[in-house]
Structure formats: structure tokens, C-alpha cells
Chains A and B, each alone.
Chain A
Amino acid sequence: MSNPLRWRTLAVATFIFVLVSGILISGAQQEITSTQQQEITGAQQEQEQNSLPSEDFRPAITPADCTYLQDPLEFRLNTKDRLIERSATTGKVAAYVYAVTAPEYTLDANAVPRKNLIDNAIFNRMAGAGIQSAPISTDAEFLRRVMLDLTGRIPSANELTAFLADPNPAKRDGLIDSLIGTPEFVDKWTMFFGDLYKNTSNASNVARGIAARDAFYTYIRDAIVNNKPYSQMASEMITATGNSTVVGQASWVVGGMIPMGPAQDIYDGEAAHFAQTFLGLSTVDCLLCHDGNRHLDAVNLWGARQTRMNMWGLSAYFSRVQLLRDATSGAYTVNDLATGDYRLNTTTGNRSARQPINGVNIVQPRNPFVVQIGTNAGNAGVMAGETRRAALARQIIPNIQFSRAIVNYIWEEMMVEALVSPSGSFDPARIDAANPPPAGWSMQATNPELLNELAIWFRDNGYDVRGLIRAIAQSSAYQLSSTYPGTWSVDYVPYYARKYARRLDAEEVHDAIIKATGIMTTYTQNTASLLPPVQWAMQLVDPREPGGNGGTVNFLNSFGRGDRDQRPRRSDGSLLQSLNMMNNGFVMTRIHQANAGSRVATILSQTQDPATIVRLLFQNTLSRNPTAEETALFVDSFRNQTVRVASENLQWVLLNKLDFLFNY
């Protein structure tokens, strides 16, 4: 949620078309299964694409939804432009903050303690390149940042003053521990995983329905509350069976559904869905239509060497999944059938034809992922008594790529700059520092050593999501200031030499306004939902809520909330955002003394002193103290005004200051 490039999973278009009366290859053909990798020649590939059966009158084949870079609008590769933008945005905010807060910064590298393996990797790399880091952030900067990142909320004035006044030298670690596991923490990370798993009631490829969406939301939420190990979550989701309106994790399987095609389309859909969610490998979706050779050569080095047959081996793990739709309710039930195979016998559907290759016409489950560090646990293939999906979960979870993917997603959420970007498009051939790619290709990660060490650590520490969040938050790398008192270069960005700024997400903006002004609200969600009304936007089940309040929907959407389907979260600005912040009733009904329970009302009931009012409004809205200049400017604004009007003016101004909208 912290990053404009948010799109984790494939956007699958709606597939509605007229089905050709099947001219499928059937009949008594010898069942030959694949037992080894099949290379497909260029000529075969041409033939594969062009030799189609005789057609019916109505053309019915739709092109596969092949995507190079899985994430729509996922456009910031490791290019100079992105790094420059990252630098510039951060630089502007930081420069301002530095100018107005004037903390006692010195560029003293020795003042930055190394807390854990993250710091070792980050600062060793920096030292090796001769790059100075930014100093550690001030307490106020850190408090606001960590509260936003961990709980999606800004600090209140009381939280600020208490933290600033706390003399305990270990107070930052204490703060982190106190935030993890709170209800707000649960809300924020439920939203994060809801985004990652694309939990929505109505997507372009499948209508999960409200009940199944809610069940999935509850499943995710419970997992966060109980800090369920990520390996267990993944296993439960990959192997889920049951009624998706009851068994929340089955709802994940529903998300891979591909309608209006042969069963193999569904198996491929699940494989692509799985690869995106749990491995960050969007190229699998490309490879399920064609070989990497001649398609991905300029895009993904690993993918360029893969064949469609390899990926069919992955799809075969899903070849006994049944997604049964209830005709009345529309809800899906997920089952594992006792039999079923991945057959190469399609000519219609959402992907190009699947026809026997080198005599192979049934593809057995075969794990195509061999790039790893450490051991690949267990037997490849399916063991006796094990369902195919269970076999896949068993093999994949210990694979280091599984850990890399989630580590990278969470790192990106907190550090803004991902280790591998786009985070859904890993290139396994460019990840391992021990096996660097050939000339012309760069290593994909900003810090390959860190990525792998952190992934190994995550795996060896019980796939503990809270542990990972804690480790990142505790690191000095995370706690660096966004101010860089030296001469910044855009080349420093991959070294994380400073903390990067990001605009607040839509829900964070909304909730910051509520918390700053103290006026709560209640939203009912979709009428079909049995979930209770909520008070914070971060509690909404999906980005199309609240069903009961169109105005709030528009307000949130104007901040680029996306829809967890075709439209990713964005953090660019818009005219509507500015009009909303300045004039929307949501803001305007919270800034007056006459608005019952407002911050202005509360403050004015305690004091009429301009300097105090200025300080309290700053602390509540911007979560920092005003500088001497700011105090002077705003105290001056109280002249020739009633205290009430001046206070209301100030509240409005602070909500519309640009640093209100950014996490720096």
C-alpha cells in the first residue's frame, strides 16, 4: 500500500464469448506423460500457434491474457527515472522538514548503530560503495512514521508528547513492540494482505460474492490476530477446500478461476494466481501461453529459458481442483477430485491451443522451480496419499523463493523502495549473488545479499510475519531520517542511504483526518455483508466499500484506492484530491468549534492562548511541534480575528499542508 506500483497479481479480463461447439481432440490416444523437460523448437512453436482446427462459424477463441509485466501500471523498473523520482520526492519533503524542524543532525556514520542483519547488509554495502547514510530520524519523525507503517494511524498529541518525553533509551524498540498486535495493527495488515490476495466480491474474472469475500476477510484477519505462521497461511490457502462462504481460505482458490473455457484454463489460472501471490513470479502467466524463448528474452532471463511444458507441470498440480458454483447463491465450493489430469487437448478457450508435444499428451505434476538456496524439502512430484495441491504446498513453501516473495512485499510496504522491483516480477536468474547473470543483465535486487539473508532468516524463524515487521522497524536502516544533509545522488537510492517518503494511502488519509480532528464516524458496508459497521477506513473489507456511503467512496477513490482487480493503488495527485481536501464536507464538518467533539472545540475549551492553540493543533494534526517560525506565523494570524476563527483557519491550513499527506 505504500507504493504506487502496487499490482501484485494478474489482472484477468472477463472472458465472455461464444463457445465453439467443441472440436476437441479426443478419442483413444495413447497416454504418454511427460517425465522430463521438453524443449520446443521454433518451428514447433510456429506450428503450435498457427495450426488450429477447422473453425465453426462463430469465432470463439479469445487471446490469452499474456502480460509481460504482470502488474498493470507497474512501470517503475530499476530505471534512473524511478530512482530520480524517489530521490526528488523524498528530498522535497525532507528538505522542508529539515528546514522547519532544524534537528541537530550530523552526518556521523558512527552514530548509526547496527541493530541486526538488515543493518549489516545495508550498511556494509554502503560502506563498500563509500556512501554516507543519513542520520537517524528524530523521535517525532520516527513515531509518526512507524505508527503509519505499522498501524495506518498518525500519532495523537498525547502519544507524541509521551514518546518525546520518555527518557528510556530503548523506547523505540518498546514502541514497536507496543504497536504490534494492536487492533489498529490488525486492521492495517489485514488490508495489506487483502490487497495481496486481491480479496474482492466482484472481479473481472470471477464474482466471489459478498459472503465469500467476508469469509476471506475474516480468515485473513484471524491469521493476523493470531500471528499465524505465513507458511501455514500459504499451505491452508493453496490446499483449501470447502464452501468459500464458510471456509475463508477457499476464497483464495476462487480468485484463480477462469470462466468460459476448458478446465485447463482454470488449472492455468490457479497456477498463475499461485505463482503471483506466493512466488512473485508473474512470468508464469506468460509462460502458460508460450515458451519464454523469443518472447521473454528481453524481459526475464529466467523466463526466457522456460518452456510452456515446464509451466504445465505446475498447472498439473491444480488439475484436480473443482470450482463448483451454486446456481442460486453464486457462491463457489472448492473440491479436490479423486482423478484428473492435465491433458494437452484443447483448441478453444482463453489460452492458445494445448496439443501434444513430442508425443506427450498428459502432463504430470512437476515442480519447475529449481532455483533456490538451501534444500528443496521432500520428494518432488506427488507422494502416495497426498493430494496434488498438498504436494505443491509441501514443495514450494521451503523453497527460498517463497520466502523472498513475501519478504520483498513486506519490505516494500515499509521501506517504500522494494528489494526487487516490480515486486510481482522476480527474475530468479538474476537474484542469486553466487550465480550472477551474464553481461548486459544486472542483478535484480537492490541488495541481493540482504534479500537472500532475510529470506533465509524468515524461513528459519517460523515464517513469522510479526517478527519480520519488527526486525525491519527495529533496524537503523528503517529509522534513518529522510533528510540527507550531504549531497544526495540518485545513485544512492538502491543503498537505502535515507528513508524514502511516500504519500499516505487513501485509507490513511481518511483516518488521519478523523484522528486529527477527533470526530469519528460509522460506516455500514454492503447491505449483503454480515460484518459490523466500521469506524475507520482501514477496517473496510475491500476498496469498494463503504457500500452505505457513496460520498466516502468517492473521497477514498480520489486518492487512488484502486479496486484490487484491474486498477492498482496509485499515489499520484489529482485535481479531485485537492478539491476534496479543501472543500469536501468530510473535512469541512470537522474543523469548527461548532462541530461537536472537534479538536478545535476541545482545545478551545481548555485554553484561549494562541501559542498553545498553535502547538496543540500542530501536535494533533501534523504529529510534531511547530518551529519557532511557524509559531510566529500562526500566532500572528490570531491578530484581528476571534480566537475561534483563527483556530478554525489553522485547523484547515494544517489539514491542507502537504506534509499532512506524506509519510516521511
Chain B
Amino acid sequence: MNPIIDRRIFFKIAATGVAGYFVSPMKVLAQTQNWTAGQATLMGTAKNVIFVLLPGAPSHVDTLDLKVGAWTPANFTPTTINGIDFPSGLLPMLSTQLAANRFSIVRSFQSSALVHNLLQMWVQIARSPTSATGKIAPNVGSIVAYELESQRTPAMKLPGFLALNGGAGLMGQGYFSGRYSPFDVAPAAGGLANLTNADGQTLFTSRYDLLNTADAALRAKGSKFGLEFEEMADYYSSARGIMYDAAVNNAFRFTAADQTKYGNNGFGNACVTARNVLMSNLGVRYIQLSLGGWDNHQNIYAANAGIYNPSRSLDTGLGNLIADLAATPGSNGATMLDETLIIAKGEFGRTVGNITSQAGRDHYFVHSALVAGGGVIGGRAVGRTTPTGSAVEDPGWSASRPAYAEDMAATIYSALGINYTKTLNNDPLGRGFEYIPSTGSYVGQPIVELFR
């Protein structure tokens, strides 16, 4: 069997993070150094992003890149929709959405390693965590929040980056100011915790006023530096701003009916909250959700277990989210789905062909991603793998190579109209922080084929 990837290339890729940042300590970086200045393709078709991380790594040949074989359970009900093989039995709601051209699939994704933690971090920061800037890199969501800061109005009381059920694996804001850190909350039908004070609004307000009077000198803005202190004061006023606010309360509440419709589980609750928060238009522009349970090394086809459980949650949650956003008007005649780029992606794929001796699938480089909204033309597949799903046969896009997490990030930035070739020169390492790393065997680019 041919290897799916040349080992030489693999190690070059893997070593990218190490060898890529080679800056003489005496070199002074230019103020605005864009590595492909003038060559960035900015789609500018999306206003918001919902990124669904699927930690554990879903089996691509059982989901988005279905390969039917003797192993395929009958209840997967393989169906061909728009020329795409899809497990309608496993993911019924999503198959309906696919038939309605609500999302597309990129089948030519690849990871550079097969290690859960490493790649989950990689996907969130769009570079190897072991590279030099990997140590300080912010989550893609933090960069989005930072870039879209200028679009905030005073009515936008919520942070730009929201994480729901972020968990221990959530990547934070790196070296960026805490202002761009993910607001990591647990969705609950009753809304956000600690948004009200147990002693009542009147008493709280008078206390808060007294606090500000007493602490005025300490909370005043002075020097433009002084991060720890100023941040703390800022957080107090931001926190005060979202308390006792009907719009904020409503944004985080959901009805029992919605809870049931979305699957009555953590992920479903997060999906409905994401919908409500975006509809509330309170400043959140990037939402990260997380749905695990995909690490099916054993018994992948076990009934009511294996891949079925996370698939059910994904289907009901994401399927309804896409449908509801498609049915909700946005601005200028578009729907909310038109304005919201949704990506669902794991950190890598799983082994192909027959299942293993443990009746499961193990880690594998090749995988797929679901991409919807935000200007993406739905109902299509970008890229193609071999008949078994073992290798990328046709990358299907302009870079003529498999797609990586960096390409996904570039796609997000491009969709939002953010210049992904940007380098910030305020990083503490003094090396320059590139949104998309420019050195190495590949350089992240937007998958523009999704939008055309």
C-alpha cells in the first residue's frame, strides 16, 4: 500500500515549528510586515463565526467522507446527496440540511500529527503549539475579537469571543490582552450565572457606586501600560455592564421546547445558546463550541454508543442550529446563516477500511470538515480522497495540496474580511506574530473555492 504521506515531507512538516522561526536577536522587525502584501484574498462575506471543535477526532469515512464497505452498518442508510455519499441514517437532520444546500464538505484536510492534545491546540491557534510563537499564540477567536474591536458599539456588552462548554482544552488569548480572552460559560436554560446579586439590584447598585467612589484613584486610567491593574478595573465595569441587562439575560436563556428540540444535552444547549447570542447582536462575533466522544478506538459501531452517541448530539444540535439560522433573517435581506460562517472539524481523522481488532478505528491524518454559511456555497464537496479514504486524491482547491488547520483559519479570517497576512509587531518574543505562519512547507490560505 502506498503511504498516505511521504515521511520526508511529514518530518519537514513536523519540524516546521522548530526551524521556522529563525530570527537573529539583533534584527529589528519592520513595523508592518505582510508576507504576501497585496496578495490576500478577503471574501468579507461573513459577520460571525461558529467553530465547532470535535475533539477526539471523528471517523471521516463514517461521517463526512462516507466510504461504504462491508463494515458499514445498515442503519447508516448511505445516501447520495448532490453526488456526495452521506450517512443519512446516522446524521438524518444534517442530511436534510445537505439536501437543502445548507452546508458543504471539505474532504481534503490533513493533520501533521496524530496526538489529541497537540492537534486540538493546533487547530485552535492555527500553528504548531510546539513552535516558538505557539507558546504565545492566541486562539483564532481572540484574533477575530481583536480585529473586529473597532466595529463594537456601546450597546455591545458581551465580549467578542464566546466559548460554550470550553473545558480544559480551550485555548485562550495567548499574549493578547485579556479583553480578547474567551468568555467561557456553561449554557443553562436559566441563563448565565452570577449576573445578578443575591441582595437585589438596588442594594447592588448603591454598593457598586460606593465602590467606585472609594476606589476611584486605583481604577482611573493613567499610563497606557499597566495591564494587570487596568484590566482588572476594566473587567469590573464590563461585568457591571452585563448585569441586570434584559438583552444579556435573554441571550443566554432558552426555553424547554428549544432545549428538547436541540437534543436536551450539553452540546445542544450550547447550540441553542449560540443561536440566541448571535441573534441578540450583543457583540459576540466568534463562538467556539465543543463536542467530544469521537475517539472510537473500540466498538465504534456499538449500538447507543461508539460513534452513534456523538453523532446524535452533533446531528440534532448542529442540524437545528443551521436550520434555525437559515430561517432567521439577518440584515439586508440575508439570513443569519448567510452571515455566519460555521465550521465543524476534528483534529484529525481515523483509520479507513475494515475496523480494527478492537472493533474501532485509530488515528489517521486525513479528515474532513463541515463548512456552512458566511458566504459558503452549500451542497458541494471540495476535494476528494481515494476510494477508501486513505489519502487525498484531489485537493480540490487552488493551493493544490491537502488543507491544514492554518488554511481553515485563513478561511475564517478571509470570510470576515480580516487580512490574514498580517503580522503584529507587539509580541513579547520580539519575533513578530503572524496570524498565519509564513514559513514552513505550506502557508495557510483561504479555501476560496468554498465561496465561488
Given A75-B136, A79-B430, the answer on whether A95 and B217 have CB atoms closer than 8 Å is yes
Is the Cβ of B3 less than 8 Å from the Cβ of A657?
no
Given A74-B135, A575-B238, the answer on whether A87 and B7 have CB atoms closer than 8 Å is no
Is the Cβ of B132 less than 8 Å from the Cβ of A68?
yes
B188 to chain A, nearest CB (A): 13
Is the Cβ of B11 less than 8 Å from the Cβ of A352?
yes
Is the Cβ of B430 less than 8 Å from the Cβ of A658?
no
Residue B71 CB within 8 A of the other chain: no
Given A63-B112, A76-B428, A100-B217, the answer on whether A89 and B196 have CB atoms closer than 8 Å is no
Is the Cβ of B198 less than 8 Å from the Cβ of A16?
no
Indicate with 1 or 0, residue by residue over B233-247, a CB within 8 angstroms of chain A CB atoms. 111101110110000
Residue B429 CB within 8 A of the other chain: yes
Indicate with 1 or 0, residue by residue over A15-47, a CB within 8 angstroms of chain B CB atoms. 111100000000000000000000000000000
Residue of B nearest to A439 (CB): B26
Q: Which residues of A contact B11 (CB under 8 A)?
A: 49-50, 52, 61, 63, 352
Residue of A nearest to B122 (CB): A13
A586 to chain B, nearest CB (A): 10
Is the Cβ of A50 less than 8 Å from the Cβ of B8?
yes
Contact of A73 among B174, B230, B239 (CB under 8 A): B174
Q: Which residues of B contact A87 (CB under 8 A)?
A: 225
Instruction: Give the docked Cα–Cα distance between A72 and B138 (Å).
Output: 12
Instruction: Give the docked Cα–Cα distance between A50 and B243 (Å).
Output: 58
Q: Please report the total number of A residues contacting B with Cβ < 8 Å.
A: 92
Instruction: Give the docked Cα–Cα distance between A656 and B11 (Å).
Output: 52
Instruction: Give the docked Cα–Cα distance between A336 and B121 (Å).
Output: 36
Instruction: Give the docked Cα–Cα distance between A578 and B135 (Å).
Output: 27
Instruction: Tally the A-B contacts, defined by beta carbons under 8 Å.
Output: 254
Q: Which residues of B contact A96 (CB under 8 A)?
A: 217-218
A369 to chain B, nearest CB (A): 23
Q: Which residues of A contact B365 (CB under 8 A)?
A: 59
Is the Cβ of A17 less than 8 Å from the Cβ of B114?
yes
Is the Cβ of B136 less than 8 Å from the Cβ of A65?
no
B444 to chain A, nearest CB (A): 18
Chain B interface: which of A162-170, A217-225, A264-272, A566-574? A566-574
Interface residues of B in 16-42 (CB under 8 A from A): 17-19, 21-26
Instruction: Give the docked Cα–Cα distance between A65 and B113 (Å).
Output: 11
B325 to chain A, nearest CB (A): 26
Instruction: Give the docked Cα–Cα distance between A645 and B427 (Å).
Output: 48
Residue of B nearest to A583 (CB): B194
Instruction: Give the docked Cα–Cα distance between A95 and B222 (Å).
Output: 11
Given A13-B117, A297-B22, the answer on whether A57 and B1 have CB atoms closer than 8 Å is yes
Q: Which residues of A contact B225 (CB under 8 A)?
A: 84-85, 87-88
Instruction: Give the docked Cα–Cα distance between A573 and B178 (Å).
Output: 7
Q: Which residues of A contact B427 (CB under 8 A)?
A: 75
Chain A interface: which of B94-102, B145-153, B203-211, B283-291? B203-211
Residue B223 CB within 8 A of the other chain: yes
Is the Cβ of B229 less than 8 Å from the Cβ of A588?
no
Chain B interface: which of A125-133, A310-318, A597-605, A629-637? A629-637
Is the Cβ of A633 less than 8 Å from the Cβ of B213?
yes
Counting chain B CB atoms within 10 Å of each CB, which of A58, A66, A289, A352 scores highest? A58
Residue of A nearest to B176 (CB): A572
Residue B401 CB within 8 A of the other chain: no
Q: Which residues of B contact A566 (CB under 8 A)?
A: 117, 121, 168
Instruction: Give the docked Cα–Cα distance between A257 and B388 (Å).
Output: 36
Counting chain A CB atoms within 10 Å of each CB, which of B128, B215, B225 scores highest? B225
Q: Which residues of B contact A161 (CB under 8 A)?
A: none
Residue of A nearest to B181 (CB): A574
Is the Cβ of B222 less than 8 Å from the Cβ of A81?
no
Instruction: Give the docked Cα–Cα distance between A297 and B10 (Å).
Output: 24
Instruction: Give the docked Cα–Cα distance between A286 and B15 (Å).
Output: 12
Residue B253 CB within 8 A of the other chain: no
Instruction: Give the docked Cα–Cα distance between A574 and B176 (Å).
Output: 13
Residue of B nearest to A655 (CB): B211
Is the Cβ of A85 less than 8 Å from the Cβ of B117?
no
Is the Cβ of A580 less than 8 Å from the Cβ of B130?
no
Residue B384 CB within 8 A of the other chain: no
Is the Cβ of A99 less than 8 Å from the Cβ of B7?
no
B94 to chain A, nearest CB (A): 28
Residue B226 CB within 8 A of the other chain: yes
Residue A607 CB within 8 A of the other chain: no
Interface residues of A in 142-184 (CB under 8 A from B): none
Is the Cβ of B234 less than 8 Å from the Cβ of A573?
yes
Contact of B235 among A95, A575, A645 (CB under 8 A): A575
Residue A281 CB within 8 A of the other chain: no
Is the Cβ of B429 less than 8 Å from the Cβ of A75?
yes
Contact of B23 among A60, A95, A298 (CB under 8 A): A298
Residue of A nearest to B5 (CB): A59
Given A81-B428, A91-B226, A658-B229, the answer on whether A653 and B7 have CB atoms closer than 8 Å is no
Residue A659 CB within 8 A of the other chain: yes
Is the Cβ of A294 less than 8 Å from the Cβ of B194?
no
Residue A374 CB within 8 A of the other chain: no
Is the Cβ of B217 less than 8 Å from the Cβ of A99?
yes
Residue B351 CB within 8 A of the other chain: yes
Counting chain B CB atoms within 10 Å of each CB, which of A63, A297, A582 scores highest? A63
Residue A579 CB within 8 A of the other chain: yes
Residue B303 CB within 8 A of the other chain: no
Given A59-B4, A567-B168, A573-B235, the answer on whether A649 and B181 have CB atoms closer than 8 Å is no
Is the Cβ of A69 less than 8 Å from the Cβ of B215?
no
Residue A77 CB within 8 A of the other chain: yes
Q: Which residues of B contact A286 (CB under 8 A)?
A: 18
Residue A325 CB within 8 A of the other chain: no
A581 to chain B, nearest CB (A): 8
Interface residues of B in 214-266 (CB under 8 A from A): 214-215, 217-219, 222-223, 225-236, 238-240, 242-243
Instruction: Give the docked Cα–Cα distance between A239 and B4 (Å).
Output: 44
Residue B118 CB within 8 A of the other chain: yes
Given A14-B117, A585-B198, the answer on whether A578 and B226 have CB atoms closer than 8 Å is no
Counting chain A CB atoms within 10 Å of each CB, which of B12, B198, B230 scores highest? B198
Is the Cβ of B226 less than 8 Å from the Cβ of A52?
no
Contact of B130 among A66, A294, A584, A648 (CB under 8 A): A66
Residue of A nearest to B186 (CB): A554
B401 to chain A, nearest CB (A): 17
Interface residues of A in 119-145 (CB under 8 A from B): none
Residue of B nearest to A74 (CB): B135
Q: Which residues of B contact A52 (CB under 8 A)?
A: 7-8, 11
Contact of A578 among B12, B168, B238 (CB under 8 A): B238
Instruction: Give the docked Cα–Cα distance between A212 and B22 (Å).
Output: 41
**A63-B15, A582-B197, A661-B232 are known contacts; what are 15 more A-B pairs with Cβ within 8 Å?**
A16-B116, A66-B17, A68-B18, A72-B135, A73-B135, A79-B428, A81-B428, A92-B229, A92-B230, A93-B229, A298-B21, A298-B22, A298-B25, A575-B238, A588-B199
> Could you jot down 14 A-B contacts, CB within 8 Å?
A18-B114, A59-B365, A60-B114, A68-B135, A69-B132, A73-B135, A298-B25, A578-B236, A579-B194, A579-B239, A648-B199, A650-B210, A657-B215, A658-B218
Binding site for A on B (CB under 8 A): 1, 3-5, 7-8, 10-12, 14-15, 17-19, 21-26, 112-118, 121, 128-132, 135-136, 159, 168, 174-175, 178, 181, 183-185, 193-199, 203-204, 206-208, 210-211, 213-215, 217-219, 222-223, 225-236, 238-240, 242-243, 351, 362-365, 426-430
> Which are the 6 A-B pairs with shortest beta-carbon distances?
A88-B226, A63-B14, A578-B239, A13-B118, A88-B225, A13-B117
